[in-house]
Structure 1
Amino acid sequence: MENFEKELAEVQRRLDKIKQLQKQEEEFKQQSEIRFNANLAALKKYYPDVYRQVVDYTPKPGFSLLVSESGVGNFVPKDLSVPVYSQIDPIAQVQEQVRQNVDKPLFGRAALYKKGASSADKRIHIQYMNRLSTKIADLTAESKEPLIQQLPQHFPSFLSFGIGLGYHLPMLLAEHVFDYIFLCEPDFELFYASLFCTDWGALFEIAEKNNSSMFMLIGVSYQDFFQKIIELTAAVGAFSIINSFCYQHYPSEQINQSIANFFRNFYQVQLGFGFYNDATTGLAHAVRNSRNHAHFFIKNKALKPHKGIPAFVVGNGPSLDESIELIREYQDKVIIFAAGTALQSLMNAGIKPDFHVIVERTLSVYQVLTNTTTDDMLSDMNLLSVEVVYPDTLNHYKWAGLGLKGPEASTVFMQMLHYAKTRKLLTALPFAGPLVSNTAATYACELGFEEVYLFGVDNGYPMDKSKSHSSLSIYSNEKYAGRYKPNPHAIYPLEGNLDGSVLATDFMAISKVQLDNLFLSHKEVTAYKVGSGAKLRGVTPLAIDDVIISSRCKDKKWVVERIKSDFFHKSEVSEQDEKLLAFKEFDNLVAYLLEIGNRQIHSRKDAADVLKAQSRVVFSYKDSVSAHLFHVVKGTLLYFHCPLITLLYTYENDEQTLAWFKESFAIWMEFLQAIRSDFPENWYNRCESKLWVPPAAEPAKSQ
């Protein structure tokens, strides 16, 4: 009898539990539907693009949320057989996860600058950057100050790898303030499920109240994740990600690969800022080139004088040797773009390209050109370049066509000026850097070639580093080998085009990504990468023996002349036009930056707020009528602000940190004073200096 009563009590307990669960499920269903609709309204207000994705999304058949024993939602993602959280109490589980991450945080931060080498280069940017790097190194190199061990109440950036159902976000944002918040969730269905579980509207309001910038990367694969980060940091500034609290919310292969890609490629965030003297000489060169009979590129999709004719884009990588006979065979049936020193390699092989492509604005690169070519070689050659190219370069060629490099001060200035005069837009070349092969490939696509072959565009050295360039190049010539050495530094492995791998420098790796983006964005172009080198997305790998070209080119000379006349037009900047350089507005901008910099600083948050205020003032010019001023200041601002942010949130001691910060920040303020008078006086000066290499960009350091 006693056993029967126990069994009966157990049955009753189970029935009560089932009733309780049914009640919880019904309550959750009602609440989750209300929450979902409220979240839709919040997304529509704050993130209309995400809102449209959600509205257009159709969940998979059988989509449903689980209700845990504690009454909150849970979910089983695709490709998994278990839910994201414990079915007992997801909130308690996440609270413990948050506590562990706050107590022992993982910080992804750029390394502080090393001591700057003394330089005879008198450019303002170089002099002040050397002073900054030396100052930071002197202050911190031998320091025994302990590093930050726990997540402070205020921290520059928060990067959440995986959102799950979002339960960790209210907990973190209730206790911590971040200037920039990056929320990354590759599984769109999981984010969709979170709309039933988390009050996203409340999170958006917290971010708005704290003056935080929140970015949502939803449904982005790990292959595209880092590129999205690059695009976001380009829009708001690299300081937004340079010192981040990194949080992995749940384990998954996609999340793990995204994290690995983030830290492996972090160096890219620290490159390609441009800088003050780059911007001013770019403006000077663009104006000078406009007055030197240059023709500017204007895209016209309707014009197809080269229809049915392939384009050969030739770089000077080691794989060019494999292809030289094939290029020679087809040279009369295709249009050949020679990138940089590939010109000399092709000419050494008896092949005359139709266009020579060069890009650099520096005097030193111009000197390489004049030292490795002859007037006879160039005087009958067509040049394709960009508006910032060293002005004397144009004098050596029969004809010169210039595209707008972008993003550059000179690009937006020329676009604004041309539009004011003609109501037509001068086309900026997309993905045209950082290397000359990027510019050549961009020209081929933007000119409307539908079939593009890449030769010697390798973006990497063989794994044994046995060769860096074609054996036909100037780097193999005894006369120049000692004077113009190629960069041997290559530490980044990239997947090979046909097999194996290649080793890339940082700029080669970025060049490869830019080529990926170029061809992925030009779906109408059928592109082939021929031979060895790095594999490209959106491009078909092709062995030499598999190249079969059917060309309808009957009069190549006529086609080249039509390309020049159809796509390039003169656009000259007069002295009267120079008033649009807005020197008075520049003075107002710098004056305001100095005013902000003189605000009282009593805490790290105060210092961070000053940096954020300065950066937002500069970035507010990005889409203004004086957008060129944004580019004049932006690059050096990033080179200063990024290490200052790292310095501000690396060491435990508040007093010592603020003292170091103020000493370093003072150099930035002096720089602003210097350019206030320099820009209106010296903007028209040509570049007379060598190519500047920024302070060493290291992988993100985690703690």
Structure 2
Amino acid sequence: MKYVWRDNLDTTDLTIKKMLLNATLKANLDTLQYFMPSIFDIFKNYTPTDSGVFIDDDGKIDLFNNGQSVYKGQAEEFSGNQVAEFIRNPLYYNLELSKIDDANCIYDHQRALNKISNRQVKNDNKTPFNEERYDFVCMVGSGLGYQITELFQNKKVQHFLLCEHSTDVFFAMLHCIELRPLIERCIANGGSFNVKIGNNDIDVINGINDILIKHGRFYLARFYFYQHYNSETNDASLRLLKTIGYRLAFGFGFMEDEIIGFRHTLANLKLGYKVCKKQTEFVNQDPKRQIFIVANGPSLDFSLEFLKQNQNDIIIVSCGTTLRALLKNNIKPDIHIEMERPVEMLPIMEEVEKQQEDSHLKLKDIQIIALNTVYSELLKKFKSPLLLKKVNDAGGKYIEQLDPLNVYVAPEHTNPTCPNAAMALITSLGFKEIYLLGTDFGYISNQHHHSKDSFYYDDDYRTSTPDQAGIDSIMTEDISRKGNFRDFVFSTEVFDSSRVGIEMLLAKNTDVNAYNCADGALIANAKPFKIEDIKLSSNSISKNEFLTDLLNTAFDNKAFTAKKLSKMADKTFKVLKVTLEQLMLIITTEVNSREELADLFARQHHLLVQLEAREGYQVNYWLIQGTFKYFQTYIMSHCFLYTDPVERKEFINYSLEIFREHVNFLFGELLKSINT
């Protein structure tokens, strides 16, 4: 082990200090070996290269980095002052969940959350309540660690995440503070002590997300971000958190939605619709055949002529709302993808059907492939509907339980928009040459955020659909991303998450060649490609013959007999009532503080985690997990708006009563879905 020493001190004093540093290092290595063996493996035989702990001329312990002293001999004093300032003016992530006007509430889920929101007393001064306990602290930069011990002396810290980019600096810290008492203090507070070493920007966010997954999404209501020192990497972590931190709170789902999706799944399976199998179960005879995924971005308008001229030769896959624009321009897709479950999608499709009354292009002539959650009455509008199993979905897990031989594919990243489902399907079918048109995931102007032939620009649509009213105002300039063919485009949280999902799917399918022809956001792992540069390959088999053969072999419904469907439904839900009763029992007593509430929510979360892990209970988990995440996070986030402990207590118990009433209502709705 190498150290940077100053040896002009009294020999005895220096020797004692060296011995203490070495003893602390040894104790910490033993601690890491017990609590964090993967971190121990990094440092058990570690030799620093550029940074290290040293003793200065005054006998002070300091950090040597980039050729100079970091703390100027004031490491402990600096850390103490920094912690005091942090407590006075903490930097924290405060989750703000938007409220829906009561008149526009579609679900009881929304109405219940509004009751909670309407009960709150606003903290107009925005003064943070001086919390006795910090439930979740993310610290970037370990330094010598004195600020950690100081923070723990001043606050009860429950979950702690320490992120240090430099292994040298972390190794130096191991000489200076003892980790075991800090770890044990977190555990005693019902929490955890976590370390991320040598990580890049996104790893900090992943580390935060790991804690939320393991211990409860409600900790996102407020977590503290402590930046110990400024550096390019630490600053980048904070910038990235501010930029994409919203993804941590995105797409929980909720029980009413899952009940709808489960009901649709049951109906679709009873109708005999076939489900997509894994690639090991069929053969794509021409995997390198060019296939075009067409979405409804603004650049679709500049791709229509290409599609119109070549539609007889190329395979066109339309995504959701793209269908209207294509049919309006006399372009028939070979496959249409749907993934939205609400029944409110049916009137939109009926409008498309009405649009085609005088056209030779009819919905009944178009092959639809949809996620298992899509409304059966919508699917009936098309030719021989086929299904793709949705991952992390109650209906999808139900199909999985009916599939002991593991025949049916469940691709990841089918959400949040139709291009995600389309890419998941096309890669699952084994295609390797994929062209992306209209997949903008952004816009140059918020006045042109979709194809101009889509219904987003219809006046009657804007006035009759509350969720889409004022859609231009939703398309803000708050988020910008690198463009595919230009410096940047504007985006939204949904568009951005959809783009990331495509990138992650392509990263897992490295044998796929994807070409992004859209004038929108740059998509990693998809080559920017001008539409005029596309060279179409010749094919010996017609596309109709090819697709008919492929879809006939890639889909089946052999596992879904009526008897099996009924038996599995009964088996799946016989314990759900008991499970919900156990979860609600945890929050039936009077709660006196926010800390107590957090601990009760953590107990609920751990029970849900156990439910997910049990074989055969995943359907139940995915039915209820979203509602618990939403209500826990929503209640907790509003708790922080109260500065008076008495008012906070009253709010907590009022909100829990609303929560319990809502869950009772949901169970009744679930029973209806099983018996219909």
TM-score by length of 2: 0.87
In the alignment, what sits opposite 1:74? 63
C-alpha change, 1:481 and 1:600, in structure 2 (3 Å) is: closer
**From 104, 113, 133, the counterpart of 2:117:** 133
Letter of the 1:439 partner, please give it. Answer: A
C-alpha change, 1:182 and 1:328, in structure 2 (3 Å) is: farther
Summarize the alignment of residues 152-231 of structure 1 with structure 2, pairs less than 5 Å apart. 152-188=131-167, 190-191=169-170, 193-195=172-174, 197-223=176-202, 225-226=204-205, 229-230=208-209
d(CA) in 1 for partners of 2:54, 2:332? 71
For the residue of structure 2 that corresponds to 1:494, the secondary structure is strand
In the alignment, what sits opposite 1:567? 554
For the residue of structure 2 that corresponds to 1:245, the secondary structure is strand
In the alignment, what sits opposite 1:668? 659
In the alignment, what sits opposite 2:624? 633
1:285 to 2:269 alignment: no
- Structure with higher RCO (Cα < 8 A, 6+ apart): 1
d(CA) in 2 for partners of 1:563, 1:397? 18
1:303 to 2:283 alignment: yes
Identity of aligned residues (%): 22
**From 30, 42, 65, the counterpart of 1:38:** 30
**From 596, 613, 619, the counterpart of 1:623:** 613
d(CA) in 2 for partners of 1:231, 1:443? 28
For the residue of structure 2 that corresponds to 1:613, the secondary structure is helix
**Contact 1:132–1:664 (CA<8 Å) still a contact in 2?**
yes
For the residue of structure 1 that corresponds to 2:520, the secondary structure is coil
Give the deviation of 1:432 after TM superposition: 0.9
Give the deviation of 1:388 after TM superposition: 0.5
In the alignment, what sits opposite 1:611? 601
- Describe the superposition over 1:282-326 as per-residue Cα deviations: whole angstroms up to 9, x where unpaired: 111111111112111222258342322122111011111222333
In the alignment, what sits opposite 1:691? none
d(CA) in 2 for partners of 1:50, 1:310? 47
d(CA) in 1 for partners of 2:328, 2:80? 68
In the alignment, what sits opposite 2:409? 427
For the residue of structure 2 that corresponds to 1:17, the secondary structure is coil
d(CA) in 2 for partners of 1:471, 1:317? 9
Give the deviation of 1:620 after TM superposition: 2.6
Give the deviation of 1:192 after TM superposition: 5.1
In the alignment, what sits opposite 1:577? 568
**From 430, 446, 449, the counterpart of 1:448:** 430
Letter of the 1:380 partner, please give it. Answer: D
C-alpha change, 1:551 and 1:182, in structure 2 (3 Å) is: farther
C-alpha change, 1:15 and 1:521, in structure 2 (3 Å) is: closer
d(CA) in 1 for partners of 2:312, 2:142? 56
d(CA) in 1 for partners of 2:152, 2:637? 22
For the residue of structure 2 that corresponds to 1:622, the secondary structure is helix
In the alignment, what sits opposite 2:77? 92
**Contact 1:163–1:191 (CA<8 Å) still a contact in 2?**
yes
**Contact 1:284–1:683 (CA<8 Å) still a contact in 2?**
yes
**Contact 2:216–2:602 (CA<8 Å) still a contact in 1?**
no
Q: Report which stretch shifted further, 213-222 or 428-437.
A: 213-222
C-alpha change, 1:47 and 1:371, in structure 2 (3 Å) is: farther
For the residue of structure 2 that corresponds to 1:465, the secondary structure is coil
- Runs of 5+ consecutive residues of structure 1 not aligned to the other structure: 1-13, 686-703
d(CA) in 2 for partners of 1:656, 1:663? 11
Letter of the 2:374 partner, please give it. Answer: V
Give the deviation of 1:532 after TM superposition: 0.8
d(CA) in 1 for partners of 2:268, 2:624? 23
C-alpha change, 1:164 and 1:449, in structure 2 (3 Å) is: farther
d(CA) in 2 for partners of 1:134, 1:314? 43
**Contact 1:280–1:683 (CA<8 Å) still a contact in 2?**
no
Aligned residues: 652
Q: Report which stretch shifted further, 216-225 or 91-100.
A: 216-225
C-alpha change, 1:558 and 1:225, in structure 2 (3 Å) is: farther
1:470 to 2:442 alignment: no
**From 379, 387, 402, the counterpart of 1:394:** 379
Q: Report which stretch shifted further, 123-132 or 586-595.
A: 123-132
TM-score by length of 1: 0.84
**Contact 1:39–1:200 (CA<8 Å) still a contact in 2?**
yes
d(CA) in 1 for partners of 2:459, 2:650? 54
Letter of the 2:383 partner, please give it. Answer: K
Letter of the 2:599 partner, please give it. Answer: D
In the alignment, what sits opposite 2:3? none
C-alpha change, 1:517 and 1:30, in structure 2 (3 Å) is: same
- Describe the superposition over 1:132-160 as per-residue Cα deviations: whole angstroms up to 9, x where unpaired: 22223xxx14x66873354x331222121
**Contact 1:116–1:134 (CA<8 Å) still a contact in 2?**
no
- Describe the superposition over 1:262-301 as per-residue Cα deviations: whole angstroms up to 9, x where unpaired: 2233333333111111111111111111111211122225
C-alpha change, 1:674 and 1:245, in structure 2 (3 Å) is: same
**From 501, 513, 517, the counterpart of 1:530:** 517
Give the deviation of 1:655 after TM superposition: 1.9
Give the deviation of 1:338 after TM superposition: 0.9
Letter of the 2:664 partner, please give it. Answer: Q
Letter of the 1:667 partner, please give it. Answer: I
For the residue of structure 2 that corresponds to 1:424, the secondary structure is coil
